[in-house]
Amino acid sequence: MQQTIKKLTGFMLGSIRDLAPIIAVILFFQLAIIQQPLPNVAQVLIGVLFVLLGLTFFIHGLEQGLFPIGESMAHAFAKKGSVFWLLIFAFALGFGTTVAEPALIAVAAEAAKVAAVGEMIANTEQAMDEYANGLRLTVAFSVGLAIVLGVFRILKGWPIQWLIIGGYVLVVIMTMFAPVEIIGIAYDSGGVTTSTITVPLVTALGVGLASSIKGRNPMIDGFGLIAMASLTPMIFVMAYGMVMLS
């Protein structure tokens, strides 16, 4: 118990340091440039306190829960030696963590609005919902596929740059053919899919796998899953745009 408290205090000090730059930037702009009083000072102070506590607890939980479970599962899969189940797990993790991602839901709704305003789909609630849901499923599927490919790469020991650069080439080619309206959203969708809970889990999975397979280096082979998961959505969202909007 005492150890936990000691650790939490350490994390808390870390969180204060992590948040100091944001507070400094906001205060500087508010006081020196915009020169208007801060609205709702009390609310802001409570908010900052919550952010501090939240970050502290999160980092603590990360080291207690998310990292260990990700790694122990990677070791268990490597020991079991069933590639089939490992790949199924990889897909489920990628698909399952993305499909409910709030940032993705917001972006998909926004994209449906763009399509409706541009008169590429009917400007009705139903058409927009259908379009947004289709987009969400597409992105979630592409992230699942990305994790599967990325895990397979770790098993085979392929260098990540060939996959990523190949993906870039595909993105560039598709940009030339995709409808203009979807391009900005497609590029953004790569960044929004990887959430705060997914990143530590997927990282621990990759590093755990690479360190339990002989001949793999956790630094060279363990990282790269997130990169895959940020690349495939761009390709699939553009493909979705080409299929749905033409």
Partner 1 sequence: MIGELFTHLWQTVVGTISDVLPIAAIIFGFQFAVIRQPVPNFSKVIFGFIWVLVGLSFFLVGLELALFPLGKLMAQQLTDPVFIAGGEIIEAAKATINLSWQDYGWVYLFAFLIGFSTTIAEPSLIAVAIKANEVSGGAIGVWGLRISVAIGVAVGISLGCYRIVVGDPIHWYIIAGYIIVVIQTMFAPKLIIPLAYDSGGVTTSTVTVPLVAALGLGLAETVPGRSPLIDGFGLIAFASLFPIMSVMAYAQLSQWLTERKQANKSENR
Distances in Å between the Cα of 17 and the Cα atoms of 10, 41, 43 are 11, 21, 21
Cβ 152 to partner 1, closest distance in Å?
15
Least distance from partner 1 to the Cβ atom of residue 161, Å: 5
> Half-sphere exposure (CA, 13 Å, Cβ side) for 222?
22
Query: What is the rounded CA–CA span in Å between residue 99 and residue 188?
Result: 16
Q: How far is CA 9 from CA 2, 67, 132, 218, in A?
A: 11, 20, 44, 31
Nearest approach, Cβ of residue 178 and partner 1 (Å): 9
Site string for partner 1, 41-80 (x = CB under 8 A): -xxxxxxxxxxxxxxxxxxxxxxxxxxxx--xx--xx--x
Interaction of residue 117 with partner 1, rule CB under 8 A: yes
The minimum distance between CB 126 and partner 1, in angstroms, equals 20
173-232 residues near partner 1, rule: CB under 8 A = 175, 180-181, 183-185, 187-188, 190-201, 203-204, 207, 211, 218-227, 229-230
CA distance 152 to 131: 31
Q: Which of residues 121-150 bind partner 1 (CB under 8 A)?
A: none
Closest CA to 238 of 164, 166, 163, 188: 188
Which of 9, 13, 29, 124 binds partner 1 (CB under 8 A)? It is 29
Please tell me whether residue 40 binds partner 1 under the rule CB under 8 A.
Answer: yes
